[in-house]
Structure 1
Amino acid sequence: MKSLNDKLWIGGWALILNILLLLPQATAAELNFENVFESHSAVLLIVEPETGHILDANKAASQFYGYSRIELKQMNIQDVNTLTAEEVANERKLAKKEHRNFFIFRHRLKNGEIKTVEVHSNPYQYMGKTVLLSVIHDISKQRQMQDDLWHYQGRLEQMVDRQTAELKETHQLTVMILLIGILLLLGLIAALVFAIRKLQEAKKVEQRERQMLDEIIWGTGVGTYEWNVQTGVMKTNKRFLEMVGYKREELEPVTIETWKNLTHPLDLEVALEIIEKTFSKEREFYESEFRMTHKDGSIVWVLSKGNVVEWSQEGKPLRMSGTHTNITSLKQTEVELEKAKKIAEEASLAKSEFLASMSHDLRAPMMGIRGVLGLLRDNKTVVKQESDLLDDLDDMSTRMMSLLDDILDLSKIEAGQLQLDVDAWEPAKIIENIVSLFRPTALKKDIEISTTASQYLGYWCKTDDIRLRQIVSNLVSNAVKYTKSGSVDVDVHIALGEENDRLVIEVKDTGVGISKEKLDGIFDRFTQPLQKGNTQGGRAGLGLAIAHELTEIMGGRLTAKSTPGQGSVFTLSLPVQWAERPVLEHKQDFVIAPLKVLMFKANPVNQKVIASMLMRNGHSVSVAEDVEDMLAYAQAERFDVILLDSEMAEDGAFKVIGDIRQKQGPNKDKPIIAFAKLSPKQKWDELTEAGVTSIIAKPVKHERFFAELGRLFGDKKKS
């Protein structure tokens, strides 16, 4: 009889143990493992049994430990277990001794908090190998409750023992039935307690996580909402409403209509369109910026983000949640930045226009000075000493004109107004001319200068010859300037390519060289590429910068290599568009009969130079002091040609042109030549429409002026 009772006791406790163990297993068997693993509210880990490496973790584990899923998969179980290896071994022995199928450990979360946990581990076939599937329960606060439960179970066992002892004297069948009933009752109670405890723990975890999330969101100043799409009701946090200055009781019930009423009508239409695209799954997430009206009447800019978190079986949106972020200050910053950008652009444009205007205004008197120098040098009575001084003045004026040209080019580049004048040219001829131009200077310094351009004579391509001359002249000028002795070589070759060929020009010198520090900024503006201690130069440091920018505008590359004390190599590479040699008319010389010229006294120096040259060539010149004087001359006398300046005061040029062309005076059909700045182009069009015959760009080049006179009045020379 005693043996039978012992078996009943053992069977009963085995039944209870199986009920406790099989509860979670039964649930797992009913569901797809992956879905259950990911969505289960319990903390689940898959662990490599040999190494303790964490192979995978579910969302609940990530939330519990504070690590992302990716971080957990890179960790070992010992990274979170605070027990030493010896303490872990003792716990395993204790669990075995107490016949427990779980272990009690202390785990450290990412934030440093220590939690007492139960770890239930069972072997499981995962991806073709045996792993441990561990279920972790936080029992920090429930440990006492568990101890009480175990104590209660012990009391029940004592009661059963006492009742069993009292019933031993009764019938054996009655004892067995009662015993089995009690055991079943205990098992059901234990299972119920276990289930209730798990449910309570899950609710506490959920509440704790929700509270933690709310605290985090509150700290960021972000408003949150949960929108029931079917009913229109919106659950919001306090910050959502405070963002627009309201308390909850002022707007309740809060619905989607509340949001619509507070949103700017123009922005609402766009936001609703984006929401519809999110509902139709054209967009994965909802994101929109819009203006909302604050309680005090001010405008609040809001960045709204959201996602549909629940769909119906028919694919209709049921619930959408998201955030509102106040971006008013960001928008104000954007407006201020846009204003600052506009101001900077206007300032840059004003600077460029000022530089262009200044260079034009400076070039005009400089051209006058150079004209006077030309007249003086043509004077046969000039003695040797005076001639040398005139040469010095001519050299300095040339440098000044070069600097003014640099400033003008720079202003055009900055304003985006520099345009290329592309035509068919022979680049080898251009390069040979440049080398010939600098050969006298090189020979004075005992420098050998050479070029290989002759091998490409006869090759024509489309390019801007003025800009090509400007770039190469700058490179050759620098090479000669910074070379004390040795050589300057200008090598030319054609690099053939699949898409296009390239003209490559290398200017090599044996000069002072450039240090690495200065070489890095060699193409920066206002940079002098000189070694310390070299006193040559005198330019403003714009030449190479302008050459580099011109090269890029022409679609090419300009690079530099240099070794201090050994020399430098500048390489210009330009795309080549080959062209046929143009059919040119032979240059014709003209003889101009004496002309009677009426001109306006605009710039006194230039007026005197032009008048002197005209008179030296046998022409008579009348100079008008002002507009009224000009009109009087034009109506009183007949002239062969009339010279005007487009910048005469109070649109005087147009007044003179209109008076001459409209009145039946002696000069109604006579040619009128106007001197005008290159820009704005609109001024040229207006002058042409007003009745001007020819326009010559300022500053006036005398060759261009007399060529135009030859075109209008010249007779071809007889050979």
Structure 2
Amino acid sequence: MKKFNPGLLFIIFVILCFNVSAKGSEVLLTDDESAWISRHKIINIAGPRAFPPFHYIENNTAKGMASDYALIISQKLGIQMIVDTSSSWPEILEKTKNREIDVITCASKTREREAYMSFTTPYLSYPMVIISRRQSPFIGGIKDIHGKKVACIKKISTCEWLVNDNIEFISYNVNSPLEALEAVSLGYADVYLGNLAATTYIIEKNGLANLKIAAPTEYGNYDLYFAVRSDWPEMVVILNKALASITPEEHGQIRQKWIAVRYEHGIDSGRLKEIAVQAGGALALIFFIVFLWNRQIWKREEKFRCLTEHGTDIIQTFKKDGTIVYQSPSHTAILGYNADELKGTCIFDLFHEHDKKAWEKIFKAILKTNDSQTIEHRIRHKQGHYLYFESNFVNLLKNRALKAIVMNARDITLSWQTKNELKLAKEAAEAANKAKSAFLANMSHELRTPLNAVLGFAGLLKQNAGLTRDQIESIDIISKSGNHLLNLINDVLDMSKIEAGRTSLRETAFDLWLMLDDIEDMLRLRAKEKNLQLIFERTADFPRYIYADEAKLRQVLINLLNNALKFTQEGGVALRAGIWNKNYSNEILSGTNTIELSFEVEDTGSGISEDKLESIFEPFFQTHSGYQSEEGTGLGLSISKKFVQLMGGDINLYTKTDQGSMFKFYIKAGLAGPENIYNKKKSPKIIGLQQGQPKYRILIVDDRWDNRQLLVKLLKPLGFSICEAENGRQAVKLWKKWEPHLIWMDMRMPVMDGYEAVKQIKSNIKGQATAVIALTASAFEDERSVVMSAGCDDFLRKPFRQSDIFLLMQKHIGVKYEYEEQIKEKNKPSPDKNIISSLCFAKLDPELLISLEKAAIEGDMTAMDKLIEQIRLDDEQIAYGLAQLAQNFEYSKILLYIKNENPRVQTQ
């Protein structure tokens, strides 16, 4: 007999292991199953929208473990699975009933769902646990949930389990596991029941650090299945085979990718001791209780008799057919029926007709189980009207002494009416909010659209080389006023932020002196038209560079100054700026400390009567003078006060009738230096397109002629080929015929809006090559995501800057521009720093040179740049030479040339 070869045994073992590990790599289908698959190559699937890590929707894409399993199965079976990413969970269940969805990739099994779905074997299984806050009292199991508030997800069966186990709890309804865990984290709910994997994933991903897994439950594992429409039994068999073919390595990769479980369940030793003490005490008392038991029986009977005869609840007992056996005396006071008047009648006849369907369901449950059942319903009063009751029913038909069903009903008519009124009020408030949102959206569009034309054409006018200095200054004032109006509209339209207290500061370093000068320039013309003095003063120690919210401070000052000019007919208006806290010294001003700045706006107007002072800062409040002026909305002072308070200060009013008013406020700001100021580089002027590029075809789509003309005048002179459309329908026709490189698309238009036009264009293969940039006048940030999801390649809000138009065209179709600076560079004179030494300053305005001298002494780069640009209008060569010296910080040479070449100017 041959010896047994151990090496051969090892080889056979390896081959067997290989076969076992290789098993499952293919799906072995019968001929009928393969034929069925060939007839159903496209499967419509869906899963929960917010159930990470198993299945959730992010950026319109399905993600999670279930999606990964579905992908593996689709590849193994050679089928295409189309995912429904837009439907909510209740809608998915309804669509599965209607055969619109074929397979749900991630579902638990319930009796209700088994009526219209078939389930595979479970492929994911994790234990059910209880989650609470870390500092919550000890919870050892579901019995400790008694009396607590539980976060319950709609259409999910977890809370039904607690009801079936007679756990009394308060339900806090939510829509997703994330909302449930956030409710527990924020204290709106005490606990949440969920599976271990999903809860730990959501807790870690969302940083809910104050939560813990308090205890396991008695409900075992939470199993997840593929659920298939019930008329496709073949699909269930096929899916089971596909799941069985998935290798352990593939299972492991999916679990490793999504699950990082940490289980924190501990024993509260203090609570354990407390329980032990209580148990010992209970054991000691048990003998005493037994001794007193018989003695207490007669007391309980007496107590029950008192409760039924003098209690405020209605108690009735009735047989299975509804015949009333007993009624408590409280019927007389509450429902008007005399003692024993209802005996022998049918209790069902007392219930409201509309409540009978719910009652029939409850009655079946009463007969089926010994558990108590509760329902809110109406019971008829003897006079014919109905009262609302919360009734609790207990089945005691098997009780030898009673043999009846007991109803305990509490009158909740008053609370129901209050709840109904609150519901109606809530619905009315929601309707009002929707109406307000629609109004704000429309107002946003209607106000920003004409502003787009105003600011756009002002920019085009400024590019005209033949403008005088006065014309340039006028256009600058139009632009500054328009931009201020735009900022004002943005803040007023975003009323939801102001009402919710969510308006935030956007602090930057800026030149406070320059801002005040800009405001003075903007308002001086208005003061001049009314023959009023406009005085701007600041103290010697008033800081120039600060950290604060420039836009909000500017708006407050302009609001107050505009009001002062509006209500002043003689005299003038003064703005005085200084330091609120005089303890700050000049040395502190050079540091980075916080400082309190004071502003006073005083006028010689009509003043405000004392009876109006308390209401002056309320929204939409206007004085008699305000109504007479027929200007403004009454929001200016309210918004100003909120902004001042947001900036750490407060505002007060001092006034006397017929003598004038003074608004005085202060804010907190950080100190900055010139090196902290971000100087926005002026966008280079584009004068044309570089040679060697295609003839770019640009389609402009807008229902307003002035908005189309703004883009036409901006783009056509540069060499673009332009075509226009008034609505989306025209745009689609022109796109098919003309095939533009880029489309500027307004989103709100008659006939066909931009959303539908983009959808039709992008549904075509050629449309994918066309860049579509949305132009919208909406002031709301969420508009961007809506526009981008419609298929647009980019988004630009009206009013826009010209530079934004050119940058987006360069980004999306690669346009190359010719800049004015490039042409000037070729024609620049030789960069000789001494170029101005041979030039005469005599023809220049002496006042201009005095200002230049002052700026050079103070090292004020911003002021010097402005003055050099003014000189450029008179003499290009002198301006160029001064710019060369300024760029190299050779201020002493500038001062020397001014003094030597112009005796009229005496350098200090």
Q: TM-score, length-normalised on structure 1? A: 0.48
- Determine which structure has more spread, i.e. the larger CA radius of gyration: 1
Q: TM-score, length-normalised on structure 2? A: 0.39
